Structure 1
């Protein structure tokens, strides 16, 4: 089999510092931060000459990563952050947490807003969606059974 793993999920943000602070509070660790620019990078993305600030965040188990990108050039051309849950395309990232109520309380201090309500799925999970920094849709799941 050629597929080894999913390496990361990319999220474009307006403020890299705000997003890093939010995902750090969620429990991720900043693995590294860098500037990516030049013609070589544009050959990968199809954007031509680009200038991007990137922060790589990693989950506590070391297996999952978010690549947060702030484009300085070219400018951002679309905004999908307020799309509802049933919109086409990439939707959200779901995180497993140990205490959903505590996590919500901590993230609300950074501006996170509960989308609907915290619900219980049978005796297995407590789940919710929140809007995080810049309106990003994020799922939280606490295993209870």
Structure 2
């Protein structure tokens, strides 16, 4: 693995890139996302400390996601093929798979309040680290809907 420092805002991967890189976040915060044909951003996942961030594209296939740094970040970069040769960190891979599975189920079956509460549980420290616009994008709701959810939850306390 090669360790590098990445500045906030740096784009590590663009949609359409041919890439088999895996990013292990040592410190800082990455995100992966896509932009639809209308120009709307949809955040797939956040990658805080000790998380793996990668596009699941096959070798020699264009990637579907952008990956960028939300904060100054230290990452370790490896090629997927090299990681598999060495033996994957199964705990990290399983955690990522579990997070993605829970996210898909949540998006299919939960209301905005439940999604926000799940976000807070999954990413307890990220809410202070990213703009609420990004949180809304991740949840699949508008920033105004997120504001209403946060307001309603504050009234419940």
Q: TM-score range by the shorter chain?
A: under 0.3
* Higher share of residues assigned helix: 2
- TM-score, normalised by the number of residues in structure 2: 0.24
**Higher RCO, 1 vs 2 (CA within 8 Å, ≥6 residues apart):** 2
- TM-score, normalised by the number of residues in structure 1: 0.26
